[in-house]
Structure 1
């Protein structure tokens, strides 16, 4: 494995909160990291001993592949630029903010012969991977009902998160993890119904909001997903309850799981909490190692470009359902 990851040259695009988590993982893998960001590159580089690229083109000329950790509305443009330069792409979730843009990015990558891997890190959290393995192994029989929840201190008190056109709102920003989990565990989705309280008005999300999405799967299983942007200081919590014909899988995060919430240095209580491993290997490290090995010709990782597209398809269908008050039939639109 060490030989597979020798001399990694990673182009990190972005210098916000999640960049710190990715940098720690890349440094643990011994990577050379070159960072480019409109803001914060110099500070991040000084903190971690990184190189700074003066422009996106300069970064693309120096690195093997890119890791996009910028705000969501920039993902499409940056991914397409990297693809046009012949670079493989790792991109934080969501892959883009619309289904059409996600399909465009994936099509461009396929045409260019490069890979796009979305960073759906929840697939690398041990509890979720254990649930997936149990379902795949038939340990609880056919899944009948799966419930997923996720809550965090709202990031929407200030800045661009309230603008749903830029953040995607609570579903695209937070629930997208569980939409991916639902399809990973339960299979292809055929219909989506969603509600949100309070509703989004004129494209502006409430600061504190909860959304509920019901997915019907081709298998007949039903998934129920809930995501909440809570009041400042709301502890990060996540969990699932998966009921099958012969058993149940359940998990709720807490202080005894080995995962804790943390605020980035100097952040305030209203900023989004990022879960990090308190003991054992960080899921972010596990993820980026597996993705890097996949980019270098090793086994395919557990999350592929089509999975990132599918999660955005589901989030967009949920938004359409909320706007129309109707169930959205996917008719094969989600892989």
Structure 2
């Protein structure tokens, strides 16, 4: 087993998720062809960074990502800092010959994401983008059923990602609500996952038409923020919200299927409902990440007196990854998808191949994101061919 020495930029929500995955991987997947070694973590706040280093289990901490990239004892740069930092760090890391893992969305714009892909390809390094929901065993089962033709020709793909964490008008103006840092709001944060899932399961998207809205135009300037939480003075100064609160769009796939997508942070009662349904000529599939160990499956070939959706519990060894975890029937959670994701990355590096999903998938997702944004602005259907 070889070692992959990791340097990570970012130490909050995703930094904790990635750190946990690196630590869990060798324990539960000892057969992996490469082992991550947590060499150094990077962030701007030295005090908070040291706390994260100690808590997460990293050997070292640095406050300058350029110093991290320049180190000879680093093979892989993991980027989970805010979106506006992705491009510069990734390009410089690629030039230094480092493998790359970058959280989604890949960049602030399609042009930037294409530059990142070109830099990685020119440098000949491995590159991966963080679409972790692909790695739920129930989603892998959905992929298997589709590839085997068991639900037939796909007619519909409908997906929703619903949250409610910023519904309070006094919730502070965190970085995810600022376009210059985040790129977009619910569209790029939540919708990106739906788009990637659609491409993964149903195929490439041909054209789109969308609508979006920002319900709360101004919010208090934050005094502190960590992950998805923040504190601010409701009577203090306010700043402009420059991203969408909700974006919905329709799509036509290249294979003739139709799609509907809804991403919002204003769906009261939905903490994080990430769900899709696929209807085919021979059956249907339903998935909701809030019940991530289950896949709802319907086959038209079932006898009429027992037709209906069946609940498949994807926790037994025949399902993807499950032989590494717990006895049959014991569920896994959100954090496990990151471990599976990092397993793919380690295996790809060891096997000298590109992991999947990679920066190419990040670019394809960004194409759809920008096509929807153009559609919203120009109030018309937009073909992805226009962005080529």
Q: TM-score, normalised by structure 1?
A: 0.85
What is the distance in 2 between the residues matched to 1:278 and 1:43? Answer: 31
Q: 1:234 to 1:91 in 2, by over 3 A?
A: same
Partner of 1:317 in structure 2? 371
Partner of 2:220 in structure 1? none
Q: SS at the partner of 1:174? A: helix
Partner of 1:9 in structure 2? 5
Q: 1:154 to 1:324 in 2, by over 3 A?
A: farther
State the Cα deviation string for residues 186-215 of structure 1 (Å, max 9, x = none): 212110111123479787236xx3321112
Q: 1:13 to 1:233 in 2, by over 3 A?
A: farther
Offset, 1:255: 5.4
Partner of 2:265 in structure 1? 229
Q: 1:172 to 1:255 in 2, by over 3 A?
A: closer
Partner of 1:47 in structure 2? 55
What is the distance in 1 between the residues matched to 2:287 and 2:190? Answer: 18
Q: SS at the partner of 2:209? A: strand
2:280 aligned to 220, 229, 244, which one?
244
Structure 1 residues 223-302: aligned runs within 5 Å: 223-230=259-266, 234-254=270-290, 257=293, 279=332, 282-298=336-352, 300-302=354-356
Partner of 2:150 in structure 1? 139
Q: 2:273 touches 2:290 (CA, 8 Å); kept in 1?
A: yes
What is the distance in 1 between the residues matched to 2:177 and 2:152? Answer: 41
Once the two structures are overlaid, the 10-residue window that deviates more, 179-188 or 139-148, is: 179-188
Partner of 2:99 in structure 1? 88
1:326 aligned to 346, 364, 380, which one?
380
Q: 2:128 touches 2:345 (CA, 8 Å); kept in 1?
A: yes
Q: 1:199 touches 1:205 (CA, 8 Å); kept in 2?
A: no
1:213 aligned to 237, 244, 249, which one?
249
Q: SS at the partner of 1:28? A: helix
Q: SS at the partner of 2:385? A: coil
Structure 1 residues 144-163: aligned runs within 5 Å: 144-154=155-165, 157-158=171-172, 159-163=174-178
2:195 aligned to 172, 179, 184, which one?
179
Partner of 2:75 in structure 1? 64
1:20 partnered with 2:16: yes
Partner of 2:30 in structure 1? none
What is the distance in 1 between the residues matched to 2:206 and 2:366? Answer: 15
Q: 1:144 to 1:332 in 2, by over 3 A?
A: farther
Offset, 1:333: 4.5
Once the two structures are overlaid, the 10-residue window that deviates more, 38-47 or 225-234, is: 225-234
2:123 aligned to 112, 129, 134, which one?
112
Q: 1:75 touches 1:91 (CA, 8 Å); kept in 2?
A: yes
Q: 2:10 touches 2:80 (CA, 8 Å); kept in 1?
A: yes
What is the distance in 1 between the residues matched to 2:376 and 2:250? Answer: 11
State the Cα deviation string for residues 37-96 of structure 1 (Å, max 9, x = none): 113321111212311135323322131111111011111111111111111100011111
Q: 1:88 to 1:253 in 2, by over 3 A?
A: closer
What is the distance in 2 between the residues matched to 1:154 and 1:283? Answer: 22
Please, which runs of 5 or more residues in structure 2 have no aligned partner?
27-35, 218-239, 295-329
Offset, 1:29: 3.0
What is the distance in 2 between the residues matched to 1:297 and 1:332? Answer: 36
State the Cα deviation string for residues 233-257 of structure 1 (Å, max 9, x = none): 7421121110011111112344584
What is the distance in 2 between the residues matched to 1:324 and 1:256? Answer: 37
Partner of 2:208 in structure 1? 192
Q: Which has the larger radius of gyration?
A: 2
What is the distance in 1 between the residues matched to 2:242 and 2:158? Answer: 27
Q: 1:203 to 1:193 in 2, by over 3 A?
A: farther
What is the distance in 2 between the residues matched to 1:332 and 1:117? Answer: 26
